Structures are given as C-alpha cells and as structure tokens.
Chain A
Amino acid sequence: MINWFKYSAPSTFYPLAGKLIPVFWTLAALLGAIGLYISFFVAPTDAQQGEGYRIIFIHVPASWMSMFIYCIMAFWSLLGLTFNTRLSGMMTRALAPTGALFAFLSLWTGALWGKPMWGAWWVWDARLTSELILFFLYIGFMALQAAIDDPRRADRAGALLSLVGVVNVPIIYFSVKWWNTLHQGASVSLTKSPSMATTMLWGMLTMALAFWAYTIAVALMRARTIMLEREGNTEWVQHLPDVKEAA
C-alpha cells in the first residue's frame, strides 16, 4: 500500500508535482485540441440555434468544472481539518482562483450565448443565478484567505468556510429553482435532436476532460509556488535545484 501521508509532506510533494505538471499540460493540450476539433468541425450546425450553440462546448464544461472544483476544495478541507496536514490547505488555496475563473467563464459564455438566443445578456435562470452565487462563494473564500495573516489559521478558516459552503450549495440551488418557478422566469433548455446529442455530449466531455487536466496542472503549479512562499526558510526549499539554479 502506498503511504499517502508521505506525499502530503511538502518536501516530497514538490518534486512529485514537478513531474506531474508537464504530463497534465500535455493532456490538456491534446484533449483541448480534440475538443475544439469536435466543437467546430465534427458537430453539425444546429437547426434552431445556428452556429451560436457552439458556445455550449465551453459553457457547460466550465460550469461543471466550477462546481466540481468547489467539491474538490471541500474534500481537501475535510482532509485538512481531520488529519491536520499542511498540503490540504495549500491545495484548497491553489484551487480556488481556478474555480473562480471557471465560474466567471461560465457566466461570461452564458451571457454571450444568451444574447443571441433570448435577446438578453442576463436572465434570472436558476442555473445561471446559482453559478453567480457560486462565484460569490469563491470570492468570499479568497477574501477570507487574504484577510488572515497567519497562513495556518487562514487554511483552517478557509477549510471550514468551504465546508459550510458545500453544504449550502444544494440548498441555494434548490431555493433559487423554487424562486424561479414561482416567478416563472426564463428557463434555459438544451433540447437537441437525438443524432445531435451524442456528438454534443462527446464534445462537451472531451472539453471537460481538457479543463480538468488544465485545472490539475495549474493547481499543482500554484501549490508549488505557495510552498515556496511559505517554506522559504526551510532546509529543503533552500536546497531545491529550482532555487539554486538561477542564483
């Protein structure tokens, strides 16, 4: 059995992450290229929405990723609070900006998709509204981390906040949906002809996997940077080839 705790020490995690980063960058580039090819050349023109529907090939994966990353953050937080490992706080902190970026991209592409489709940049659709609230949750998390000076305390406070957030996300989504039906707001429907559906699903899945590889690569890079920032006066950091090389 692998001793997972061994890898949770920054000094062992740092070189491991360094080896993994190029792998995930390659994966992200490959999958991204395939995904773009599917979304522009394989997927046919939609009967109702013309070419404008191609936006969903990034809109939907970006939304998935923004929710997925929040769950991963909650998972790391739970690990961090139970086992009190330093790594988990660093990973949570490394993931948050990327999650916020995906939430923002999902909103941005949603607006650009909504304008030609419903004639409005923003509609109070349950999913879009929940995405906006998720974006606020990310901003809140990052603001809390930035406001606490002691990194260990910031990690633990952030961990608790993301756990509280992850419990609340389904409740928020449900309440927004309830509110939406009460007010009979616009609802975004993605009805497609069945032949269309498989290609679209494949396109979105490939893009989602590309985003996923991208997230891992960027998060590992950021985690490594955070390690350098925090453990600058430890022996292992000072003996890193990265640090010595450029000197």
Chain B
Amino acid sequence: MQWNNASEFFAMGGYGFYVWGSFGLCTLAMIAEPLLVCQRRKRAIKQIQNQLN
C-alpha cells in the first residue's frame, strides 16, 4: 500500500486530474449506458401495452 492518507490517494502524485478524469468518465459511462438501455426497454414495453389496450 503506497497511500498514507485519503488526500494523497486523491492527489495521485499530482496526476489526480488525469487519473480521476479517466476512471471517472469510465465509471460514469458504464452506469449511464445500462440506465439508457433500461429506459429504452421501458419505452418499448409501454408501446406494446398501448398496442394491446
């Protein structure tokens, strides 16, 4: 373990912006994509239900 405290961890030896910019966007994208798919699925289901009724 090379981190003594949390602020050192977030600073990433001066590369904080680059490291967290990469990991942050990746995480964000990987949360957003399934949510968007879920939304699309709900829309599709609603459309079928409208058709049936």
Contacts and interface: CB of A to CB of B under 8 A. Distances in A.
Q: Tell whether A pairs with B.
A: yes
6 nearest A-B residue pairs (beta carbon): A52-B15, A51-B13, A228-B44, A109-B22, A51-B12, A225-B41
B13 A105 contact: no
Interface residues of B, number: 31
Nearest to A110: B22
A224 B38 CA distance: 10
A225 B29 CA distance: 19
Interface in A180-224: 214, 217-218, 221-222, 224
Interface string B18-52: 11011101100110011001101100110111011
Given A51-B12, A238-B52, A108 B37 contact: no
Interface residues on A, range: 35 or more
Interface on chain B toward A: helix, strand, loop, or mixed SS? helix
Contacts of A246: 45, 49
Interface of B: 1-3, 9, 12-15, 18-19, 21-23, 25-26, 29-30, 33-34, 37-38, 40-41, 44-45, 47-49, 51-53
A41 B25 CA distance: 20
Contacts of A101: 29, 33
A232 interface: yes
Interface SS of chain A: helix
Indicate the member of A62, A97, A217, A222 with the most B CB atoms within 10 Å.
Answer: A222
Contacts of A108: 22, 25
A237 B18 contact: no
Interface of A: 36, 40-41, 44-45, 50-52, 54-55, 58-59, 62, 97-98, 101, 104-105, 108-109, 112-113, 115-116, 214, 217-218, 221-222, 224-225, 228-229, 232-233, 237-238, 242-243, 246-247
Given A51-B19, A54-B19, A108-B25, A221 B52 contact: no
A115 B17 CA distance: 11
Contacts of B33: 97-98, 101, 218
A243 B49 contact: yes
Given A51-B12, A218-B33, A222-B37, A112 B22 contact: yes
B40 A225 contact: yes
A58 B26 contact: yes
Given A225-B44, A232-B48, A116 B18 contact: yes
Nearest to B38: A221
Contacts of A115: 18
Contacts of A247: 49, 52-53
